[in-house]
Amino acid sequence: MASTFNLRSRRSAAQLTALAGVEREIRAQDSHSRRKYLREFNQAFTRYESVLDPQQLQELLHAADIVLIGDYHALPGAQRYAASLLEQRALAGDRRVVLGVETIFARDQHIVDEWWRREIDESELRQRIRFDLDWGYDWGPFYELLVTAREHGEAIYGLDCMPRENLRKISARDRHAAAKIREIRERHPGAAIFVLFGESHLAPGHLPRALRDEIPEAKILTVLQNVDALYWHAAGERSDKVEAVRVNDDVVCVFNATPLEKYESYRLFLDQWSRCDNAPDFAPTIYNLIDSLASFLQINRYSPYNGTQPKFLIDMLPEVHGCSSDAMLSRLLTRKGIGEEQLKSMLASVEERGSAYLSLVNAFHIREFKMMHAAEDAARFLHHACRGLPQRLNDHGAKGNTSNATDEFYRRVIEHAVAYVGSRVLHPARPEAEEQDLPQLSRAALEKTAQAASGDSAKLEAFAQDWGYRLGSQIYKVYLAGKVKPNGLRRLFLAHVDEPGAARKVCTAVIARIRSAARK
């Protein structure tokens, strides 16, 4: 069985490579990361006492009078997680719930109250609290939190004060917030108070200490999100996915994003702010994912020969189109013979997933950075690049006779499998592929599915994705167990699957390898 060290190494290798590049960019643009106040937060949480299951986490949350939730402002999932905690606590029905937020200055409480009474709309609230001017992160997830609190809670309060940019005054802001929380507790006796505040404020000597000075009798629970050191430590646990850990009696940490996802989100904001532009540049993010996955697979991006390496991968990097490029992308695809219905389907997929890699034009189309899907799309590009670009039209749907449809089914299975493996390597927190109500993974079952899907391109794609994700999940497990190395995964990316019958042979060989590894 793999050791804790080996598990941590295999789960983290590709992420750490990608993370190094992002952190270099952030340090170049943001000098605050070296300040004493922020270092105190990072130094405070390096180990945890135990892993928590969902029931244990809920028990701790229900016992608390005040829940301090760490907010990584650039990560939408951080605000959405806070909304989910507040809603779950309110639905328990035993206590009223109140929300306090750093995002809104206490001076603007009257504006929040007007919105609460539905006297002003969302647009006026956003403008009058100067959200974009004074805060600058995503409005959508924060507004979802406010709406959740209005639907399930008793009140919302702004907790912050000026100056935000002066770290010499940051301790004064902690004391101010603690005093405001004491006032809230006096105004709403018996209510459970949820507070969303920047994560660095939640070091033991920062806001929690100020709050205990103000309200020594209150039961305070700090809920951190995705602290780097704790995340890397938890990567060595036997469990495939650790959702939460107990740091000490008063502190827990939940994991709903990877460090790479966090810092890529922040880098996108830094880029957006530096250009005084509302549209983030996603290209560096996508290229970093591709570069990191290629490094993990030991792919030489400058190799002049095809074979065990793709030829000059560096020259095949895709275009990256943002949300403002729908019209341009439509023209590119139309010139390639993509019909209107298929184009609508592709854009709908982008809307749902946040991004998509379109091999026909070797381009990414991305509207929102979602780590799981972006990582999968990076793996899809790498697979197509290893096979040689550009790909044919039939990569977007089976055409022709039964034999060709069968070959296409197996090609799509392999593509989905390598996409899943690549996404798990870059984003280990991705959920495992679901396998309930499906036959056992075998050559015979695949063959039967290929015959059933023949002649129906929609069914073929759906079946191929199901089987590909399952196959990719098994490959990733074999990798975690140390029974296949990164260069072995690279061979799958480089497999020749375009000749008739080749993809089927690759699938058969992979299934045999997985079974052999399981027996050993």
Instruction: List the helix and strand counts (H, then E) for the chain.
Output: 21, 11
Residue-level pLDDT at 393: 37
Percent of the chain as helix, strand, coil, to the nearest 5 = 60, 10, 30
Q: Which residues, in sequence order, are CB contacts of 165 under 8 Å at separation 6+?
A: none
- Give the rounded distance of the alpha carbon of 121 from its chain centre: 31
Residue-level pLDDT at 354: 87
- Which of residues 483 and 142 earns the better pLDDT score? 142
Residue-level pLDDT at 97: 98
Residue-level pLDDT at 397: 41
Which amino acid, 99?
L
Tell me the pLDDT band of 392, cut-offs 50, 70 and 90: very low
* 153-212 pLDDT tens trace: 999 999 998 887 777 778 888 999 999 999 999 999 999 999 999 999 999 999 999 999
Q: Is the confidence at residue 323, as pLDDT, over 50?
A: yes
Q: Which residues, in sequence order, are CB contacts of 306 under 8 Å at separation 6+?
A: 388
Q: Which residues, in sequence order, are CB contacts of 512 under 8 Å at separation 6+?
A: none
Boundaries of every domain in the chain? 32-258, 397-520
* 73-119 pLDDT tens trace: 999 999 999 999 999 999 999 999 999 999 999 989 999 999 999 99
Q: Is the dihedral of CA 425, 42, 37, 101 positive or negative?
A: positive
Residue-level pLDDT at 414: 94
Residue-level pLDDT at 325: 61
Q: Which residues, in sequence order, are CB contacts of 328 under 8 Å at separation 6+?
A: 321
Tell me the pLDDT band of 317, cut-offs 50, 70 and 90: confident
Residue-level pLDDT at 205: 94
Average pLDDT over residues 213-227: 96
What CA–CA distance (Å, rounded) separates 222 from 250? 6
Q: Is the confidence at residue 331, as pLDDT, over 50?
A: yes
Residue-level pLDDT at 398: 38
| Of 93-102, 366-375, 400-409, the least confident | 400-409
Q: Which residues, in sequence order, are CB contacts of 456 under 8 Å at separation 6+?
A: none
Neighbours of 341 (CB within 10 A): 8
Q: Is the confidence at residue 122, as pLDDT, over 50?
A: yes
List the beta bridge partners of residue 71: 198
- Which of residues 316 and 417 earns the better pLDDT score? 417
Mean pLDDT (the chain) is 86
What CA–CA distance (Å, rounded) separates 144 from 54? 23
Tell me the pLDDT band of 458, cut-offs 50, 70 and 90: confident
* 21-61 pLDDT tens trace: 777 776 666 555 567 888 899 899 999 999 999 999 999 99
Average pLDDT over residues 313-326: 76
277 phi and psi, to 5 degrees? -130, 140
What CA–CA distance (Å, rounded) separates 437 from 239? 24
Q: Is the confidence at residue 402, as pLDDT, over 60?
A: no
Q: Is the confidence at residue 346, as pLDDT, over 80?
A: no
Residue-level pLDDT at 296: 92
With a pLDDT cut of 90, the percent of the chain lying above it is 42
Neighbours of 307 (CB within 10 A): 8
Tell me the pLDDT band of 401, cut-offs 50, 70 and 90: very low
- Give the rounded distance of the alpha carbon of 73 from its chain centre: 14
* 257-299 pLDDT tens trace: 988 888 888 888 887 777 666 667 788 888 889 989 999 999 8
Q: Is the confidence at residue 511, as pLDDT, over 80?
A: yes
Q: Is the confidence at residue 390, as pLDDT, over 70?
A: no
- Domain covering 32-258 in this structure, CATH number: 3.40.50.11550
Residue-level pLDDT at 26: 66
